[in-house]
């Protein structure tokens, strides 16, 4: 397997990690929010919005990269 063949798999794994981090950030955001720190929770939600905005492009690009030629 060449290095070029590994890139789509690597990107897929990185995306899986990003999705897991997104879920963890959401859990922490809810926990912080429940304890009355709306400002910190708002900042975390801003980060989550950025992740969400990029998600569709990342999935589309991975699908193209992993499609056999």
Q: Are 42 and 30 in contact (CB under 8 A)?
A: no
Q: Are 48 and 26 in contact (CB under 8 A)?
A: yes
Its pTM stands at: 0.76
Number of H helices, E strands in the chain: 2, 0
Question: Cα 45 to chain center, whole Å?
Answer: 13
User: How confident is the model over 2-59, as pLDDT tens digits?
Assistant: 777 788 888 889 999 999 999 999 999 999 999 999 999 999 999 999 999 998 898 8
Return d(Cα 45, Cα 5) in angstroms, integer.
35
């Amino acid at each position: 397997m060449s290095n070029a063949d590994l890139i789509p798999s690597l990107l897929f794994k990185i995306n899986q990690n990003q999705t897991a981090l997104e879920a963890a950030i959401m859990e922490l955001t809810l926990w912080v929010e429940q304890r009355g720190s709306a400002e910190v929770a708002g900042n975390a939600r801003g980060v989550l919005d950025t992740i969400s905005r990029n998600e569709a492009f990342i999935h589309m690009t991975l699908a193209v990269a992993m499609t056999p030629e």
